[in-house]
Amino acid sequence: MTAVYETSPTPSTQSIVTELDALESESIFVFREVAAEFERPVILFSGGKDSIVMLHLARKAFAPAPVPFTLLHVDTGHNFQEVLDYRDATVAALGLRLEVAKVEDYLADGRLRERSDGTRNQLQTIPLLDAINGHRFDAVFGGGRRDEERARAKERIYSLRDEFGQWDPRNQRPELWSLYNGKHKPGEHVRVFPLSNWTELDIWNYIEREQIPLPSIYYAHERDVFERDGMLLAVGPYSQPRSGETVSSRLVRYRTVGDMSCTGAVASTAASPAEVVIEVAASEITERGATRADDRASEAAMEDRKREGYF
């Protein structure tokens, strides 16, 4: 495994422990409900920190038995190698089953075309929906958190999708107490968000507490980057500086992991979960605001993508 932090013995305060315990129990409850009430659940697993925490919680929910779910990765082809390595090492170590839906297969045979800006996050929707239909997955776990974005803040923990994978934000089922209603008709499926109530800071406190290994790009490292739209983009096969953009080697880390061509790094010296916790707590910019060009497209960019079936 690509374990790349030094275990930090810093004791967490009592209040944080109990808050994390409450969030952990709530998420484990959701995993068990889905395992009991659905036929073919799947966990969306990208190798990003939220999906890693999700898998960790799923393992806790069913221990000592193995996780009773398949994993699905929707692969943009614009990957960080460290993340793919982490994904494959995890799957191998835990004996899990991984399905990969590749955007590049769709580009190769013309079912999808490259966007003019060359980014591929938005191209993931069709391969995702095809994979859900093809494998007849009826519950799809996503690592989305309500603190990430305005449209996500409105989504239920169980979010019903119609036959076209569409989300109708104005027609969501009321979700009361801890009674999750997973009833759906054939062809429909339910997106399940067990991390709904976690914040970015909760995730990092939990990673620290549970000593969960992450891909190395989440911690400070030297990288050749250039600045675009106020973000630091890595020089790589999918993102090259345009004229006027100068490349420099900076100490950076990633707050989110997505399509490499439009996911920005942030300047950072944080080399461990404890240091990231401090950095996140002091941050003046949200996670997606700092790192995701695709969310800046419009006032409701995420809502529009979600309506079409995006994560």
Partner 1 sequence: MSTLLRLATAGSVDDGKSTLVGRLLHDCKAILADQIAHVQTVSEARGGDFDFALLTDGLRAEREQGITIDVAYRYFATDKRSFILADCPGHVQYTRNTVTGASTADVVIILVDARHGVLEQTRRHLAVAGLLRVPHVVLAVNKIDLVGYDEAVFKGIGKDVSQLADQLGIADVQAIPVSALVGDNVVERSPETAWYDGPTLLEYLENATGRDDISARPLRFPVQYVIRPQTDDQYRDYRGYTGTVASGTVSVGDEVIVLPAGRRTSVSGIDRAVISATSTAVAERPSAVAGEAVTVRLADDLDVARGSVIVAADSSPGTRRELLATVCWLSDRPLTVGARLLIKHTTTTAQAIVTKINGALDLDTLGVIDATGLDLNDIGKVQLKIAAPLAADPYSSNNITGSFLLIDAHDGWTLAAGMIDDEEGELL
Binding residues for partner 1, per CB under 8 A? 1, 3, 15, 18-19, 21-26, 28-29, 32-33, 35-36, 56, 59-66, 90, 93-94, 146-147, 149-151, 153-154, 160, 169-170, 172-179, 181, 183-185, 196-197, 199, 201, 213, 283-286, 289-290, 299-300, 303-304
Check: CB of residue 153 under 8 Å from CB of residue 147: yes
Q: φ, ψ for residue 56 (rounded to 5)?
A: -60, -45
d(CA 119, CA 292): 11
Comparison of 34 and 131: residue with beta carbon closer to partner 1: 34
Q: Which is nearer to partner 1, 43 or 151 (CB)?
A: 151
Of 185 and 242, which CB lies nearer to partner 1 in the complex structure?
185
Nearest Cα neighbor of 203 from 295, 277, 290, 284 is 277
Query: CB of 249: closest distance to partner 1 in angstroms?
Result: 26
In the complex, the smallest distance separating the C-beta of residue 21 from partner 1, rounded to whole angstroms, is 7
Minimum distance of partner 1 from residue 78's CB (angstroms): 24
| Residue 187 C-beta: closest distance to partner 1, Å | 13
Distance of CA 89 to the CA centre of its chain: 18
Name the DSSP letter for residue 265: E
Q: Report the nearest approach of partner 1 to the CB of residue 143 (Å).
A: 16
Q: Please state the closest distance from residue 50 (CB atom) to partner 1, in A.
A: 15
- Cβ(182)–Cβ(158) below 8 Å: yes
The whole-angstrom separation of Cα 254 and Cα 248 is 17
CA angle, corner 16, sides to 15 and 17, nearest 5? Answer: 90
Residue type, 103: V
The nearer residue to partner 1, 64 or 110, going by C-beta atoms, is: 64
Alpha-carbon distance of 309 to 190, in angstroms, equals 11
Q: Which distant-in-sequence residues (6+ apart) come within 8 Å of 292 by Cβ?
A: 121, 256, 258, 262, 263, 264
SS3 of 202, please? helix
User: Is the CB of residue 97 less than 8 Å from the CB of residue 71?
Assistant: yes
Q: Which is nearer to partner 1, 113 or 185 (CB)?
A: 185
Closest CB 26 distance from partner 1, rounded Å: 8
Placement of tokens 């250039």 in the chain: 226
Q: Which two tokens stand for residue 168?
A: 């109708």
Nearer to partner 1 by Cβ, of 11 and 36: the residue is: 36
Smallest distance from partner 1 to CB 269, Å: 20
Nearer to partner 1, 9 or 110 (CB): 9
Q: Of the two residues 41 and 127, which places its CB atom closer to partner 1 in the complex?
A: 41
The angle formed by the CA atoms of residues 193, 172 and 50, to the nearest 5 degrees, is 15
